[in-house]
Amino acid sequence: MTTVEQTADRAAESKAAPGWTVVVEQELRDLWLGGRGLLLSVAFSLLLSIIAYLVATNTALNFLEHRESVNLVLQVAIAVGGLLTLLAAADAVSGERERGTLESVLLSPVTRSQIAAGKVLAALSLWVASFAITVPYAWFLGRGVGIVGDALVTGVVVGTLLAVFLASLGLIVSLFAGSNRVSLSLSLFVLLALFAPTQLPSNAQQGWAGELLLRVNPLTAGEHYVGKILVSGHAWSQDLSWLASPLAAAALLATAAPILGARFMRLRGGVAT
């Protein structure tokens, strides 16, 4: 390559947007203007509407049950928002592979780690939208019991940590899955497995083993923290240790996703080279 071409390359690079932003923008367009994201948002808002209506028209609810209802709305938002984010990320690479559109993206000069990062960020938009939709419901239900602020702040903190964790997880599964069906199924299975401890009997959740299981699992730890703030009225700092696993999981997988993307984003899934 000549010096002129190298200079032109560098000049073009400095003016053009970074590759990951181009990927994010296009993925957002595909997700939202393509229609899938909006339809999912409508479905989610219907779910919240049903829950909110049932809660609001239940005149027998006492104060504590009312607080628990706000907690329920927030937990549903975090769970469903996380699920949608996970599924979008799980489709990100394996879906493109099956649709035959991955190769043309890999043929661009954008690095694979940037492509991976862009896809994770775009998947996170589903969480952002889910939370935004939840705000009016949380406000309506929470204003009577004075926990709107607590609900929204805990929701955004815990929900974002979990969404980052799930989006990164979904992308990593998508990198290695042999097909899109495997990617989506495996991601869903992992999510259900993470939610499973919440269904254990309450005496099984107590004791050092039960508490360890709940603390190590980022989903149950996050759910526990939100509950303590909203239902038990704890202060922010009182149960901060419960945020350790969501924070660690989010940080670890968000770091791993682009690194693994750089190494394993290929035309065929699987770990074999």
Positions in the binding site for other proteins (CB under 8 A)? 1, 9, 12-13, 15-17, 19, 22-23, 26, 29-30, 32-35, 38-39, 41-42, 45-46, 48-50, 52-53, 55-59, 61-64, 66, 99-101, 103-111, 133, 136-137, 140-141, 144-146, 232-235, 238, 267
Cβ-in-10-Å burial (0-12, 13-18, 19+) of 13 comes to exposed
Name the minimum Å distance from CB 228 to other proteins.
8
Give the number of other CB atoms < 10 A from CB of residue 94. 27
For residues 16 and 114, is the Cβ–Cβ distance under 8 A?
no
Q: For residue 269, is it left (φ>0), alpha (ψ between -120 and 50) or beta?
A: beta
In whole angstroms, the minimum distance from the beta carbon of 196 to other proteins comes to 27
Task: Give the separation between CA 124 and CA 88, rounded to whole angstroms.
Answer: 9
**Residue (23 or 250) nearer to other proteins, CB:** 23
Q: Are 253 and 168 in contact (CB under 8 A)?
A: yes
* Of residues 93 and 169, the one with the C-beta less far from other proteins: 93
CB of 46 to other proteins, least distance (A): 5
Measured from the CB atom, the residue of 100 and 201 that comes closer to other proteins is 100
Closer by beta carbon to other proteins, 48 or else 173: 48
Residue 190: CB minimum distance to other proteins, A: 27
In angstroms, the Cα distances linking 99 to 3, 70, 71, 92 are 39, 41, 40, 11
